[in-house]
Amino acid sequence: MFFDLPEELQMFQRAVRDFCENELKPHAQEIDESASLNMDVIAKMPAMGLTGLQVSEEFGGVEMDTIGASIAVEELGRVCGSTALSVSAHNGLCCGPIMLWGTDEQKQTYLPTLTSGKYLGSLALTEPQAGSDLLNGAKTYAKRDGDGWVINGHKAWITNPMYAPVIVVLCRTDQEAGSRGFSMILVEPNTNGVTLHPPEKKMGVKGSPTQMITFENVRVPASNLLGEEGRGFHQTMQTLDSGRISIGALSVGLAQGAFEEMVKYASERQAFGQSIAQLQLIQEKIANAAMEIEAARTLIYKAAWTKDQGRDYGKLAAIAKLKATEVAEKVCFDAIQVHGSYGYSREYSVERMYRDQRLMTIGEGTSEIQRVVIARRVLKEFNG
Ligand SMILES: Cc1cc2nc3c(=O)[nH]c(=O)nc-3n(C[C@H](O)[C@H](O)[C@H](O)COP(=O)(O)OP(=O)(O)OC[C@H]3O[C@@H](n4cnc5c(N)ncnc54)[C@H](O)[C@@H]3O)c2cc1C
């Protein structure tokens, strides 16, 4: 186990932080207010490896380990939740499954495009009537027909479709086979019968597009199957375990960003003849935030490290995501409190961070689902 980041990861972190400070932070407020990503900033990301964090170099990526990928997402989250969410989903939810289960041809076709900085990938699991309970509730159906699949159904709350060259779609391919009746299928959004609905109007992460997708007799070649037929549910669970580390890292970033604003403001704001940072009740918030962020980040690194060791990390990923998202919620809340009325103003970034963090206890498995996962694992370990 490690207690400090290796030198090369520290250098990577500094480089990503500089990039985020100089290239992304100046646009963060506008990204939120215009509810639109800044694709010029995304176009600069391949130079930093941010659009192919865990993709092989031959396809334009930088093949980082999971700790490196988490560091990058944390740094993005520190300055812009919307961009961090879209880049996290792109890397973990779209490039990840294609790297893991794609054929050579699928990798050649999609990964160089995905890592180019011109696009952002998507994964479509959730449906209007089913999020946590995909197994019983997901209805999108792909029927084998000659040399292809014909897909019908609706996906909801999907990140990035408008920027995606390809969407990984979870479909039922056998109505009778339960958890073995799902498959992942690659669908290009410009295929006949695919409708991308307008982006949802959201409370936070407004710049990150979240869309409903309708599939109406969408025909794709049989070779668009990603991985084995019938393994889609298993692939989904694996993808979500990994995605939880990333959403946790994003949450640590949001907490870190709000924490820094809190300390800065507390040091400058005067009340009762001194800076409010001298008041013990304000110091309590600063101390608690420092402690909780450190704890959350350590859990993220531990889950990432365990994954990189090839060990079972599902419980740790759920613990890390749950802790980090709840820490982000509390720290962003306190950051506004320390800012007083100014924290309630759109002029101050803590207002945006507070809205952005609210998604984190919902996406990629709600906090309730994380607790279900953790408790199930603990009970299994305990009772055998
Ligand atoms: C901004 C945004 C981006 C998103 N991006 C994507 C994406 O890219 N791809 C994608 O596929 N999805 C995406 N989602 C969807 C997201 O993953 C789901 O919303 C989430 O999994 C919860 O599903 P649900 O909304 O259907 O809630 P439900 O599953 O209906 O849950 C409703 C409530 O019931 C609780 N609940 C459900 N089951 C249990 C249980 N067993 N025990 C206790 N409580 C329970 C939940 O915790 C929650 O509080 C996104 C959502 C948002 C808002």
Q: What is the pLDDT of residue 90?
A: 98
Q: How far apart are CA 119 and CA 209, in angstroms?
A: 13
Q: Indicate if the pLDDT at residue 4 is higher than 90.
A: no
Show the CA angle centred on residue 179, arms to residues 222 and 210, nearest 5°: 70
CA-proximal residue: ligand 1, atom 24 (nearest): 131
Name beta bridge partners: 183.
171
Q: 3-state SS of the chain?
A: CCCCCCHHHHHHHHHHHHHHHHHHHHHHHHHHHHCCCCHHHHHCHHHHCCCCCCCCHHHCCCCCCHHHHHHHHHHHHHHCHHHHHHHHHHHHHHHHHHHHHCCHHHHHHHHHHHCCCCCCCEEECCECCECCCHHHHCCCEEEEECCEEEEEEEEEEEECHHHCCCEEEEEECCCCCHHHCEEEEEECCCCCCEEECCCCCCCCCCCCCEEEEEEEEEEEEHHHEECCCCCHHHHHHHHHHHHHHHHHHHHHHHHHHHHHHHHHHHHHCEECCEEHHHCHHHHHHHHHHHHHHHHHHHHHHHHHHHHHCCCCCHHHHHHHHHHHHHHHHHHHHHHHHHHHHHHHCCCCHHHHHHHHHHHHHCCCCCHHHHHHHHHHHHHHHHHC
Report whether residue 224 contacts ligand 1, using a CB cutoff of 6 Å.
no
Query: Which residues sit opposite 220 in a β-bridge?
Result: 149
Of the residues 8, 63, 364, 368, only one is catalytic, namely 364
**Nearest of 30, 25, 71, 26 to residue 49 by alpha carbon:** 71
> For a substitution probing ligand 1, which of 122, 123, 132 has the most ligand atoms within 8 Å of its CB?
132
Nearest to 100 by CA among 228, 247, 9, 229: 228
42 lines ligand 1 (CB under 6 A): no
Residue 111 contacts residue 55 (beta carbons within 8 Å): yes
Tell me which of 366, 367, 369, 376 to substitute to probe ligand 1's pocket, judged by most ligand atoms within 8 Å of the beta carbon. 366
Q: Region 6-12: what's the mean pLDDT?
A: 96
Verify whether ligand 1 is closer than 6 Å to residue 205 (CB atom): yes
d(CA 87, CA 109): 20
In this structure, the residue with its CA closest to atom 45 of ligand 1 is 368
Reported as half-sphere exposure (CB side, CA atoms, 13 A), residue 258 has a value of 35
Q: Is 214 in the pocket of ligand 1 (CB under 6 A)?
A: no
Q: Which domains are assigned to the chain?
A: 7-114 (1.10.540.10), 122-231 (2.40.110.10), 233-383 (1.20.140.10)
Contacts with 68 (C-beta within 8 Å, 6 or more apart), sequence order: 9, 12, 53
Tokens of residue 283, six digits: 């110091």
Which residue reads 């109007």 in tokens? 201
Ligand 1 atom 26 nearest Cα: 131
**Distance (Å, whole) CA 28 – CA 79:** 7
Q: Report whether 314 contacts 226 (CB < 8 A).
A: no
Could you identify the atom of ligand 1 that is nearest to the CA of residue 365?
21
364 is catalytic: yes
Pair 179, 190: CB distance under 8 Å: no
pLDDT tens profile 27-69: 999 999 999 999 999 999 999 999 999 999 999 999 999 999 9
35 lines ligand 1 (CB under 6 A): no
Measured between alpha carbons, how far is 20 from 75 in angstroms, rounded to an integer?
Answer: 7
Look at residues 213, 312, 242, 224 and name the one whose alpha carbon lies nearest to residue 91. 242
Mean pLDDT of all residues in 182-205: 98
Pairing mode, strands 210-221 and 148-159 = antiparallel
pLDDT in tens, 267-283: 999 999 999 999 999 99
pLDDT at 197: 98
Tens digits of per-residue pLDDT, 308-346?
A: 999 999 999 999 999 999 999 999 999 999 999 999 999
Is the pLDDT confidence value at 1 over 80? no
Atom of ligand 1 nearest to the CA of 122: 8
Whole-angstrom Cα distance, residue 375 to residue 354?
29
The answer to whether the beta carbons of residues 320 and 302 sit under 8 Å apart is: yes
Predicted confidence band of residue 234 (pLDDT cuts 50, 70, 90):
very high
Average pLDDT of the chain, as a whole number? 97
Q: Is the pLDDT of residue 384 over 90?
A: no
Percent of the chain residues past pLDDT 70, beyond the cut: 99
Distance (angstroms) between ligand 1 centre and the Cα of 255 equals: 22
CA of 147 to the centre of ligand 1 (A): 34
For the record, the structure tokens of 221 come out as: 């070649």
Angstrom CA distances, 291 to 259, 265, 283, 285, stand at 11, 19, 12, 10
pTM here is 0.98
Compute the distance between CA of residue 376 and CA of residue 228 in angstroms, rounded to an integer: 27
